[in-house]
Amino acid sequence: MSFIAISRRILNEIESQTKDPLLRELAKALLQFEMENWQMEKVHFKDHYEKEIAFRCRKRLEQS
């Protein structure tokens, strides 16, 4: 199974579980980062994840 097929299945599952657009946007951003960097050593996943989550949290606060 290709990365594209796997990522599509993951995204379809996420979309079936939540209708929250910010959560779906976050999931897509994290999945894309994972797929682009899966072979790299010492990628700062934690830093990237925290940045993405903080960005979506700020968007949520701005919407409320």
* The pLDDT of residue 41 is above 90: no
Cα–Cα distance measured from residue 3 to residue 35, given in angstroms and rounded to the nearest whole number: 8
CA 10 – CA 47 distance, rounded (Å)? 23
Six-digit token string for 26: 């976050």
DSSP 20: -
pLDDT digits (tens, 9 = 90+) for 12-25: 898 899 889 999 99
Q: What pLDDT shows up at residue 7?
A: 82
Token readout for 21 is 């657009």
Say whether pTM exceeds 0.95.
Answer: no
Q: Which two tokens stand for residue 5?
A: 């097929």
**23-31: average pLDDT:** 89
